[in-house]
């Protein structure tokens, strides 16, 4: 029976703690999937929806960006994918009556979990200047308000157009086109907060900011290193690929400050054997110290260089640049200091070396554990050094694999959602549309918050996402957002960002992936690009959650017409009526999309975008070669009596969307304000298991930030390291604490002290 949304806010946060688990998925995953699907959609809709997700004639999962194989299973989804689908296809509704009953102040007091559980927003809503609650507004009036505010700006650069990774290629292409025709490159996106460090490091070293492996490569690899990633929760179907690779003889090394159940054993629900016994994954678990990954790969590289015949000399000679400088830098690395930075023993590194030397096809996979540190870009460069040394780029079964966390975050960037666009892209765009795009770079996420804080930006527009929930320095960010003249959110469901508004605010409810999309030109589909550069279609099959919704492309097209008026020669109406016309333009502007519509029609499974390093060992870098780099080894230095905290997701969470209050694999139930600390560290700091502590972060400028009332959980973390969930701990991350080069918030290495908590 479909359950009603929670009335009271269940986030009383009294977490129950049991020992962590050592296996992922299995029967419990099926149980949780069916329970949540049933609660949100009921039985018939559950079947109708889950049997279409990730199918060639179905819709793309709005969860992470893990690819599908050519052969699809009947159930081509994981537990967390099903949760994402269930919450979007929920039968719960947020109506104008809901907003009448819940003033802004009430919404601001609610937890993210409670807001998200209320259901799909059914009508456009306006928070008028001086008003205390949202009121219904017509779409025409809403676009008129947007036009009014944008036209009143002193410069187009006072506007910000944020994109979350759920935005389709078609909507993303239109949004960047609109922003540039309007006159700004202020196109921050969620990639700025997640894989920007990967993009920066890979573009410099191999010439393209994307992973170079396909699913088939992962299956063919004989060594897979999974670093700074927890696939069991964040990319669950990756476990099937790891299981398949293991069955093919591959070895797996996981590098993580936390032991994660999903890397220990995978109980694959697709097979009875898998469901009951499962497959061990890890061959070696390196419980690294937070931020110690660059040091680890530097030591492995040092040992490879010292091992006769271990370097692929021919590959290095023919395809790389900067080898000598790198060899010199590796030679200078002090063993003891570098080893200490890893928190590992020499024997563990030597064990890993044996596996590296025995491998002919190595893939390194990573996620936020590598990208959200001050030194993330040098760390990922060192991973590339590691793969170049033995020619593991552009060889089947080998390569780089940054695993994207949002279903179309890579596609949005490919479509031009980037504050630092390549001149060639703008040239092609201007030629195609007869516009003059601005060439000065725009604001990324952190720079956007600073601009709002400092009054440089006055209008904030978000295509999906939960900006204030996802960003660092919560108090600073929320205060900055409240300085805006207008905040606009294109959303499917409620979240914190709807409660933290500018002087005026608009909520523009849109179709979800599961919704059928019919325009003047008939039934429409959109496209997405997964983590391995495969572009494919997504077709919703459910009646829209409300007759008042507009699709993402329609919202952008109508906003553009309202703002740009008759002065724009861009065929916005045509684009709204038939998305194939958008794809025809994409085909002429974005390399790799030639004959876009025809190729989609020819193969429902989609097509893979070209990738020079993968396809032909062609490296479009400044040197025309793959670049070795020789950066000094960096790692966080933590004062005595302090801990290094990483912010992370629970298993009942997807980005800032909270599906539930449990973190099953880590043994946490019914609460989220927990901090995982090594028992010996906790004892040394005077905190028993179950005690309550305030987390206080200390920043280089002497400023401090406090997150009160966390239950201390004695947990097998690496020594000196702690972990707690975001968004609850985003308040601890200073806005200025970012990665060099990529400016990504350094949310994975926050120096904190624990203080006895008054509020247990
Ligand atoms: S692995 Fe990712 S994309 Fe696939 S079903 Fe799960 S959440 Fe969705």
Candidates 304, 145, 155, 288; CA nearest to 227 is: 288
- 66 CB under 6 A from ligand 1? yes
CA dist., res. 313 & res. 321, Å (int): 12
- pLDDT given at position 736: 96
CA dist., res. 388 & res. 614, Å (int): 13
Ligand 1, closest atom to CA 76?
5
- 80 CB under 6 A from ligand 1? yes
Q: Backbone phi, then psi, for 461, in 5-degree steps?
A: -120, 125
CA dist., res. 739 & res. 378, Å (int): 10
Per-residue HEC secondary structure of 673-737 comes to CEEEECHHHHHHHCCCCCCEEEEEEECCCCCEEEEEEEEEEECCCCCCEEEEECCCCHHHCCCCC
- pLDDT given at position 10: 62
On whether the CB atoms of residues 17 and 669 are closer than 8 A, the answer is yes
On whether the CB atoms of residues 370 and 383 are closer than 8 A, the answer is yes
- 165 CB under 6 A from ligand 1? no
- pLDDT given at position 218: 98
CA dist., res. 435 & res. 178, Å (int): 10
pLDDT tens per residue across span 20-52:
999 999 999 999 999 999 999 999 999 999 999
Ligand 1, closest atom to CA 80?
7
What is the CA(69)–ligand 1 centre distance, in A?
A: 12
- 464 CB under 6 A from ligand 1? no
Residue to mutate (ligand 1; options 66, 165, 231, 659; most atoms within 8 A of CB): 66
Ligand 1, closest atom to CA 238?
1
Q: Coil, strand, or helix at residue 73? A: coil
Candidates 297, 306, 363, 364; CA nearest to 628 is: 297
Please state, as a whole number, how many other Cβ atoms lie within 10 Å of the Cβ of residue 354.
12
Ligand 1, closest atom to CA 61?
8
For ligand 1, atom 8, which residue shows the shortest CA distance? Answer: 81
For ligand 1, atom 7, which residue shows the shortest CA distance? Answer: 81
Enter the tokens of residue 488: 């606009």
Candidates 187, 735, 178, 163; CA nearest to 420 is: 187
On whether the CB atoms of residues 472 and 734 are closer than 8 A, the answer is yes
- Sorted by where each starts, the structural domains of the chain and their CATH numbers stand as 24-88 (no CATH), 93-193+408-603 (3.40.50.740), 196-403 (3.40.228.10), 643-756 (2.40.40.20)
What is the CA(165)–ligand 1 centre distance, in A?
A: 14
Please state, as a whole number, how many other Cβ atoms lie within 10 Å of the Cβ of residue 56.
15
Task: Measure Cα distances from 497 to 108, 321, 412 in Å.
Answer: 9, 46, 21
- pLDDT given at position 313: 98
One-character DSSP codes across 571-599: -HHHHHH-HHHHHHHHHHHSTT-TTHHHH
- 233 CB under 6 A from ligand 1? no
- 77 CB under 6 A from ligand 1? yes
Residue to mutate (ligand 1; options 32, 79, 87, 236; most atoms within 8 A of CB): 236
Largest distance between two CA atoms of the chain: 73
What is the CA(235)–ligand 1 centre distance, in A?
A: 6
- 81 CB under 6 A from ligand 1? yes
- pLDDT given at position 760: 56
Residue ranges of the chain with per-residue pLDDT less than 70: 1-2, 7, 10-12, 759-760
CA dist., res. 300 & res. 368, Å (int): 21
What is the CA(208)–ligand 1 centre distance, in A?
A: 25
Total residue count of the chain as it appears in this document = 760
């Amino acid at each position: 029976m479909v359950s009603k949304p929670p009335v009271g806010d269940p986030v009383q946060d009294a977490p129950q703690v049991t020992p962590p688990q050592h296996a992922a998925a299995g029967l419990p995953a099926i149980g949780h999937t069916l329970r949540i699907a049933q609660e949100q959609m009921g039985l018939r809709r559950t079947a109708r929806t889950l049997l279409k997700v990730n199918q060639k004639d179905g819709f793309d999962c709005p969860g992470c960006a893990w690819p599908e194989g050519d052969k699809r299973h009947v159930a081509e989804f994981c537990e967390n994918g099903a949760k994402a689908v269930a919450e979007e296809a929920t039968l719960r509704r947020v109506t104008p009556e809901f907003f009448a009953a819940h003033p802004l102040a009430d919404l601001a007091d609610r937890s993210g979990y409670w807001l998200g559980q209320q259901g799909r927003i059914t009508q456009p809503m306006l928070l008028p200047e001086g008003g205390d609650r949202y009121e219904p507004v017509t779409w025409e009036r809403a676009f008129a308000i947007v036009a009014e505010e944008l036209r009143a700006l002193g410069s187009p650069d006072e506007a910000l157009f944020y994109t979350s990774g759920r935005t389709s290629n078609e909507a993303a292409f239109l949004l960047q086109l609109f922003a540039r025709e309007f006159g700004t490159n202020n196109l921050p996106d969620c990639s700025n907060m997640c894989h920007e460090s990967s993009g920066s490091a890979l573009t410099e070293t191999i010439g393209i900011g994307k992973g170079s492996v396909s699913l088939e490569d992962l299956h063919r690899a004989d060594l897979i290193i999974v670093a700074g990633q927890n696939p069991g929760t964040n990319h669950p179907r990756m476990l099937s690929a790891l299981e398949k690779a293991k069955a093919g003889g591959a070895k797996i090394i996981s590098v993580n400050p936390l032991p994660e159940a999903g890397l220990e054993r995978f109980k694959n629900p697709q097979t009875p054997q898998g469901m009951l016994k499962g497959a061990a994954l890890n061959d070696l678990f390196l419980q690294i110290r937070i931020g110690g990954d660059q040091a680890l790969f530097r030591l492995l590289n040092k040992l490879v260089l010292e091992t006769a015949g271990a370097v692929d000399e021919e590959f290095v000679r023919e395809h790389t640049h900067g080898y000598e400088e790198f060899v010199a830098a590796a030679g200078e690395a002090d063993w003891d200091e570098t080893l200490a930075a890893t928190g590992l023993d020499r024997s563990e590194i030597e064990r890993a070396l044996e596996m590296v030397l025995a491998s002919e096809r190595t893939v390194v996979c990573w996620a936020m554990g590598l990208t959200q540190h001050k030194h993330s870009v040098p760390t990922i460069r060192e991973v590339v050094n590691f793969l170049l040394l033995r020619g593991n780029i552009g060889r089947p079964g080998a390569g780089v694999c940054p695993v994207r966390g949002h279903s179309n975050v890579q596609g949005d960037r490919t479509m031009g959602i980037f504050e630092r666009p390549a001149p060639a892209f703008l040239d092609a765009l201007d030629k195609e549309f007869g516009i003059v795009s601005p060439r000065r770079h725009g604001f990324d996420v952190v720079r956007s918050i600073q601009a709002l804080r400092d009054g440089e930006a006055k209008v904030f527009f978000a295509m999906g996402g939960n900006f204030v929930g996802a960003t660092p320095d919560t108090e600073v960010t929320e205060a900055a957002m409240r300085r805006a003249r207008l905040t606009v959110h294109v959303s499917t469901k409620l979240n914190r960002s709807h409660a933290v508004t500018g002087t005026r605010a608009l909520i523009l409810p849109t179709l979800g992936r599961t919704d059928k999309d019919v325009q003047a030109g008939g039934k429409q589909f959109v496209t997405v690009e997964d983590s391995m550069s495969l572009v494919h279609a997504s077709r919703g099959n459910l009646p829209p959650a409300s007759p008042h919704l507009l699709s993402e492309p329609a919202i952008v097209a109508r906003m553009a017409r309202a703002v740009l008026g008759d002065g724009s020669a861009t065929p916005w109406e045509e684009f709204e009526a038939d998305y194939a016309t958008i794809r025809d333009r994409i085909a002429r502007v974005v390399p790799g999309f030639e004959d876009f519509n025809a190729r989609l029609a020819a193969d429902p499974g989609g097509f893979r975008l070209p990738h020079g390093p993968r396809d032909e060992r062609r490296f479009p870098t400044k040197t025309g070669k793959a670049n070795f780099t020789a950066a000094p080894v960096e790692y966080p230095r933590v004062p005595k009596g302090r801990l290094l905290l990483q912010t992370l997701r629970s298993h009942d969470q997807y980005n800032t969307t909270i599906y539930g209050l449990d973190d099953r694999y880590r043994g946490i139930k019914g609460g989220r304000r927990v901090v995982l600390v090594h028992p010996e560290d906790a004892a040394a700091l005077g905190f028993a298991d179950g005690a309550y502590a305030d987390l206080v972060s200390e920043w280089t400028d002497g400023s401090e930030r406090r997150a009160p009332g966390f239950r201390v959980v004695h947990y097998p973390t690496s020594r000196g390291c702690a972990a707690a969930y975001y968004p609850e701990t985003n308040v601890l991350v200073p806005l200025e604490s970012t990665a060099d080069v990529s400016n990504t918030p350094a949310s994975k290495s926050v120096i904190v002290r624990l203080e006895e908590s008054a509020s247990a």
